[in-house]
């Protein structure tokens, strides 16, 4: 009303004139806002990466390269959440994360992107949500899937670099086969207890099987299940890993050899690695892990009191049909496209393709029995 009584308008038509004035003011304000937003967005874009553009190692040309790159992170646990945060904050244009698991309360000690409210939700989806809040200028995809011989090549194709954030050697041997075969650079990384390892693997150089020729026997290597993990280790290992990934995306020379970090002793070494002409993968080109000859279908999950079963056949019907059946036997619900079932100490998480995580046991035989009982073969 204050506006309607200002200015030189006549008493007979104050509203008309003042409405025009208000509209003009609005138009002006909208134009100013558009101008301010676009100017602000340009400044924000410039400032967002200004601290790394200042670095001679990156610079504005390097920043453009990062913006055009595609990083694929396999696994979204402790290493994955830290590596993803680095990649997304640095402005890597396309970031993909693939993970098969749901968030457990024991993950919160070291997996940086998750909170208590996320327990029970798929890691890849929650990570995607959080990372989009960090950087809306880039593309981010969270894929809830088990990386196996049927899909690994599809996931790595088109990647500028693949980052290993898995928790088992089985998947690493598979990723090594897929990346060597498709000539895609990848960075191996592992973290257990107080020690970690990182190695950048590029076409023509030594591959992971030049260093570890055979898949270790179950129980041969320590895991975070058996020896635990200090929560400062994953970010340190992911820092070295992602820096190597940045160098690859920037087209710069990567560090040759195997980094070995003992965080407790405060020691970092880089061990020279040579290509082995007899290597099954890069020497002989025998990509046996891609052919499923060594595929495990029932595995105990690292850091979790749980077993995963990948059925040989896809689920009959859809998750809703299974939910209706299981509802008669216990508590069943579908959250984030994933079926949860609870009954007297048994807890199942079933994914749309039939892959199932059985929580509360590490006994493979018991898990198979529970799977047959509730999901079927």
Contacting residue, 65, 209, 304, 340, with Zn ion by CB under 5 A: 209
Tally of helices (H runs) and strands (E runs) in the chain: 12, 14
User: What CA dihedral angle connects 33, 37, 43 and 44, to 10 degrees?
Assistant: 140
**Sign of the Cα pseudo-torsion (300, 302, 305, 310, in order):** negative
CB of 272 to Zn ion, least distance (A): 15
CB of 302 to Zn ion, least distance (A): 25
Of the listed pieces 6-14, 54-62, 144-152, 200-208, which binds Zn ion according to CB under 5 A? 200-208
CB of 153 to Zn ion, least distance (A): 18
Alpha-carbon distance of 102 to 348, in angstroms, equals 11
Binding flag, residue 201, Zn ion (CB under 5 A):
no
CB of 271 to Zn ion, least distance (A): 16
Q: Is 357 in contact with 301 (CB distance < 8 Å)?
A: yes
Binding flag, residue 207, Zn ion (CB under 5 A):
yes
**Which position among 224, 279, 282, 302 bears the catalytic label?**
224
- Of the pair 263, 273, the CB lying nearest Zn ion is at 273
Q: Residue 210 catalytic?
A: no
- Count of residues touching Zn ion (by CB under 5 A): 6
Contact positions with Zn ion (CB under 5 A) in 278-317: 279, 281-282
Alpha-carbon distance of 138 to 299, in angstroms, equals 35
Question: CB nearest Zn ion: which residue?
Answer: 279
Phi, psi dihedrals of residue 193, rounded to the nearest 5°: 65, -115
Alpha-carbon distance of 276 to 288, in angstroms, equals 17
Binding flag, residue 82, Zn ion (CB under 5 A):
no
Binding flag, residue 211, Zn ion (CB under 5 A):
no
Q: Decide the pairing of beta strands 346-350 and 338-343.
A: antiparallel
Alpha-carbon distance of 244 to 256, in angstroms, equals 10
Of the listed pieces 186-194, 205-213, 223-231, 332-340, which binds Zn ion according to CB under 5 A? 205-213
- Residue 149 corresponds to which tokens in the numbers above? 């011989």
Using CB under 5 A as the criterion, which residues of the chain lie in contact with Zn ion when the complex forms? 207, 209-210, 279, 281-282
């Amino acid at each position: 009303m204050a506006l309607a009584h200002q200015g030189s308008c006549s008493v007979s038509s104050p509203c008309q004139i003042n409405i025009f004035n208000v509209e003009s003011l609005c138009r002006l304000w909208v134009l100013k806002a558009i101008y301010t937003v676009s100017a602000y967005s340009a400044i924000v874009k410039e400032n967002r990466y200004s601290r790394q553009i200042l670095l001679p190692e990156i610079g504005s040309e390097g920043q453009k390269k990062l913006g055009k790159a595609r990083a694929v992170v396999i696994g979204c646990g402790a290493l994955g959440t830290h590596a993803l945060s680095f990649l997304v904050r640095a402005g890597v244009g396309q970031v993909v994360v693939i993970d098969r698991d749901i968030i457990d309360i024991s993950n919160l000690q070291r997996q940086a992107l998750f909170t208590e409210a996320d327990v029970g939700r798929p890691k890849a989806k929650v990570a995607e949500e959080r990372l989009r809040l960090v950087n809306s200028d880039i593309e981010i995809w969270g894929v809830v899937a088990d990386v196996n011989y049927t899909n690994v090549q599809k996931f790595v194709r088109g990647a500028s670099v693949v980052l290993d954030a898995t928790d088992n050697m089985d998947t690493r041997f598979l990723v090594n086969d897929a990346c060597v075969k498709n000539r895609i650079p990848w960075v191996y990384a592992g973290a257990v207890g107080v020690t970690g390892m990182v190695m950048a693997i590029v076409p023509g150089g030594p591959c992971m099987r030049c260093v570890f020729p055979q898949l270790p026997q179950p129980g041969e290597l320590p895991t975070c299940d058996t020896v635990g993990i200090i929560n400062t280790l994953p970010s340190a290992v992911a820092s070295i890993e992602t820096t190597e990934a940045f160098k690859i995306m920037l087209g710069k020379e990567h560090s040759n050899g195997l980094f070995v970090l003992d965080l407790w002793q405060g020691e970092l070494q880089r061990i020279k690695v040579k290509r082995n002409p007899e290597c099954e993968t890069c020497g002989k080109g025998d990509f046996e892990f891609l052919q499923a000859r060594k595929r495990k279908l029932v595995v105990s999950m690292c850091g979790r009191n749980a077993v995963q079963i990948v059925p040989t056949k896809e689920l009959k019907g859809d998750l809703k049909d299974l939910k209706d059946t299981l509802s008669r036997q216990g508590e069943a619900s579908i959250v984030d496209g994933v079926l949860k079932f609870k009954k007297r100490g048994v807890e199942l998480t079933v994914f749309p393709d039939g892959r199932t995580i059985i929580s509360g046991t590490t006994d493979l035989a018991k898990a198979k029995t529970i799977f047959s009982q509730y999901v079927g073969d």
